[in-house]
Amino acid sequence: MCFSATASFTAAAVLLPAGAGAVYQAARTDRAYIPICALPLFFGIQQAFEGGVWIAGDHGNMALVNIFSLGYMFFSWLAWPVWVPFSVYFLEPLRRRPLYLVLSILGGMLGAIQYVPYFLHENWLSIQFLPHVIRYNAIELLDFVIGRDATYVIYIFVIIAPLLISSNKDARIFGVLVSGVLAVTYMFFQYAYISVFCFGGAIMSLYLVTTILRKAPSVVSTL
């Protein structure tokens, strides 16, 4: 697949209304699905930010590149490791919910440690435009503590494990789809893993839209 401003904005144009519709449908059918059905909506916003990175880069406006990149990385570092376990929290029985709360807090701590320094050190986040893909080059705070590989293992665990171990079938299937994206990214796109992994995850999140649309509107539960 070719990655470009067109690809990012097209993904956003599909995901934003689809995500909004999924949230609306969840509100009518099963409110426990509202947080997880918001994922396509959030992915759409992130893809719009990356489209902005492409456009600003094409015009040589590095100030806007930096602003859009910070918006994009907010979702990469903070939104996903917090929101994914948080969204699955509502799909779980009460006895399992504390585990997902802990994972969400862990994700927030990890994300904040990695994201906040971008505002304190302007040169810690730089953008490289490669053919059909954007590479987000970053100095990361935990590089100096546990190393990048260990950081990413924790990051992937916080995002994917809550889905794969969920008692909810829909969450598990979504977890398998995201795991597939991760595998493809690792094998073929390591040079631009952030951009490719998030784009693939965005496309896979459309599964959540189809899931909630299949639910009968007559059954309504609370969070």
Chain center to CA of 198: 6
* Alpha carbons 45 and 9: distance in angstroms, whole number: 10
Q: Among the residues of 33-79, which ranges form H helices?
A: 34-37, 39-58, 62-74
* Alpha carbons 155 and 109: distance in angstroms, whole number: 11
143 SS3 class = helix
* Alpha carbons 171 and 102: distance in angstroms, whole number: 18
Q: Looking at the predicted structure, is the pLDDT value of residue 15 above 50?
A: yes
Q: Looking at the predicted structure, is the pLDDT value of residue 223 above 70?
A: no
Q: Looking at the predicted structure, is the pLDDT value of residue 89 above 70?
A: yes
Q: Looking at the predicted structure, is the pLDDT value of residue 218 above 80?
A: no
Q: Which residues pair with 133 in a beta bridge?
A: 130
* Alpha carbons 176 and 54: distance in angstroms, whole number: 30
pLDDT tens-digit readout, 162-192: 999 999 999 999 999 999 999 998 888 777 7
Q: How many DSSP H helices and E strands does the chain contain?
A: 11, 2
pLDDT tens-digit readout, 90-123: 999 999 999 999 999 999 999 999 999 999 888 8
Backbone dihedral angles phi then psi of residue 135, each to the nearest 5 degrees? -110, 120
- pTM (2 d.p.): 0.91
